[in-house]
Amino acid sequence: LKVIVADKEFYDSCAVSVRQQIWLKNDRLYLDAICPIIDSYIAAKTKIMMSLISMVGDRESLYERLIDVIRERFIKTADVNYCSLRMELIMAAHDANLDSIIKIGSSAICYSRAYLNY
């Protein structure tokens, strides 16, 4: 494994299963691999949340319609990511101090758990 780590090109060309073995022994390389992916995820998610929140603004009816669409898509697909999106929207509204939206969203159990336990 030391030979692989010493040669960046060789390391980069290794299968993930080989790199996993390296990461178990080399935390720095593991962090070098995962941190950019996490940062990319957060940046993309933040941009999307900001877009949705700015589209809704403080208009309760637009927020309710957005939640309806998310609910409909969840029912149609059973994709739990829609549930996560709903929770993220409530938290983004909270962060943006959108009181009228927070009031509607606060009835969701995930909001209570996220903010009462924080």
26-38 per-position pLDDT tens digit: 999 999 999 999 9
Assigned token pair, 44: 């993309």
**pLDDT tens, residue by residue, 62-77:** 999 999 999 999 999 9
Would the pLDDT of 109 be above 70?
no
Question: Of 50, 5, 44, 12, which is closest to residue 26 (Cα–Cα)?
Answer: 5
CA distance 104 to 60: 8
**C-alpha distance from residue 19 to each of 26, 34, 37, 105 (Å):** 10, 12, 16, 43
pTM score > 0.75 for this model? no
Give the residue-averaged pLDDT of 14-21: 94
Full DSSP string of 18-47 = HHHHHHHH-HHHHHHHHHHHHHHHHHHHHH
Assigned token pair, 42: 């957060």
